[in-house]
Amino acid sequence: MDENKLIKRCAELIEKKCGRRHIDRWTGQRFTDLSEKIAEETGKHISDSTLKRIFGKKKTAQDYTPQVYTKDALANFIGFKNWEDFASDTESSPVLHPGWSPNHFKILGFVLLVIVTIIAIWYFIPDKQVEILCSNDRQQVPYTAVFLYEIPAGDDSYSLEIMPGQAIRLHPDKDRVTEFIKSAGYQPASLYKKEKLISQIYIHSLSSTWQAGYSKNDFAETYTPFEIQDLHMQDTSVFLDITNPKISTQLPEEPFFMDYRLSDTFNIDLQNLSLQVDLLNNASLGGKVCYDKEILIVSDTGTISLRFLQPGCYRYAKIVLGKQELTGRYDDLTAFAVNSGDWGSVQIQSLNHQVMVSYNGNVILETGCEDCRGSIKAITIRFYGNGAFRNFQLREAEKVE
């Protein structure tokens, strides 16, 4: 590359280092500042007048060729050993520190690459020294679950999260930890190293009949079962009178959802089921606003979830079919806006990865669901405020006449 192009490239790097473009338009004071900065960083002096001639600020009768001393000083300033080193590697973009050559930065880049690789390996490869299991991962609620673990000696950075947001520290000099479980359902127990998820196992907390509880607002993870579990099983329906002081004193400040959970060994697969139930949620029962009615079917590998609301509220309708999720905000779910004044009969059939949903005998959804599979572990029926259901039936789809 000829000398003029090298000087132009040098000017570009100086502009970049100084944070000012168009060096040929700089004021005289800026060249004075540049002269002082070069002397400070390299120990070599170039007058502001010389700098102006080099970079075209001061016109000369012919192209100005700086002395070797001047060019070496400029090369030092932009991070090269000398002008010859700069000329041999003009495509480099060195870190602009005096005394550092491009080779220094290649070494630095390699070191940084090694560090990033080590961090990535630490983050993405599971810690093979750590194991955890639950010795009674399938038991009737309430019960005390026993978790057995093995973690590196002296490492107290591990924790176990069973209830959302409630981490249990694992002592490195112990090999077990317990937790009291009173909520029916199929729930994860997550092992963390600091904030990194290491592994996850599931516990199946069984209920002999429908368990009643509540969750704050629409956060199902805050579900809390009522202390008294014999007030909601009515003669013809499942319904909890929230005016009963035994119940009302346990309820949170509004808003809340009333949840009914059934967790058992159903011996039915999510891809081969027929569920039928009558739902009711209105103001007279203690329902609120849009009178949400929701059904969740949870298996060990997937979920079917349907939410019905009164007409005008379908913005909050929601469907989950395996990994697929539809919401009233972005999808047309007007069919899930239904009359809440009287009982509504819901039927869900999942067969050979096809799901059909009917409401009061009318088909409102037919779609495929490749992810709808796995052994059913738990059923939840939820109401915004309060509601009731009756005539619940769950069976294999082939057995429906």
* pTM exceeds cut of 0.75: no
Other beta carbons within 10 angstroms of residue 93's beta carbon come to 11
- Residue located via tokens 């991962």: 137
Structure-block tokens of residue 174: 């112990």
Other beta carbons within 10 angstroms of residue 43's beta carbon come to 10
Q: Is the dihedral of CA 18, 24, 27, 29 positive or negative?
A: positive
CA 147/CA 169 separation, integer angstroms = 12
CA 48/CA 45 separation, integer angstroms = 9
Structure-block tokens of residue 180: 């009291």
User: Torsion angle, CA of 377/165/220/395, rounded to 10 degrees?
Assistant: 0
Task: Of 245, 302, 285, give the one whose Cα is nearest residue 389.
Answer: 285
CA 202/CA 206 separation, integer angstroms = 13
Find the angle CA(15)-CA(5)-CA(1) to the nearest 5 degrees: 135
Q: Is the dihedral of CA 396, 398, 399, 401 positive or negative?
A: positive
Give the pLDDT score at 400. Answer: 44
Helix (H, G, I), strand (E, B) or coil at 14: helix
Q: Is the dihedral of CA 207, 388, 279, 308 positive or negative?
A: negative
DSSP string, 114-127: HHHHHHHHHHHS--
Q: Return all residues near 63 (Cβ < 8 A) that are at least 6 apart.
A: 4
pLDDT tens, 244-266? 999 999 998 878 999 999 999 99
Residues of the chain with pLDDT under 50: 93-99, 101, 399-401
Give the pLDDT score at 401. Answer: 46
Give the pLDDT score at 214. Answer: 94
**Residues 141, 209: contact at Cβ < 8 Å?**
no
Element of type H or E holding 266: none
> Domains along the chain?
3-110 (no CATH), 131-205 (2.60.40.1930), 209-399 (2.60.120.200)
N-to-C CA span, the chain? 87
Amino acid symbol at 61: A
CA 149/CA 252 separation, integer angstroms = 36
Give the pLDDT score at 96. Answer: 45
Q: Would strands 138-140 and 196-206 be described as parallel, antiparallel, or unpaired?
A: parallel
Strand order in the sheet with 166-169: 138-140, 196-206, 185-193, 158-163, 166-169
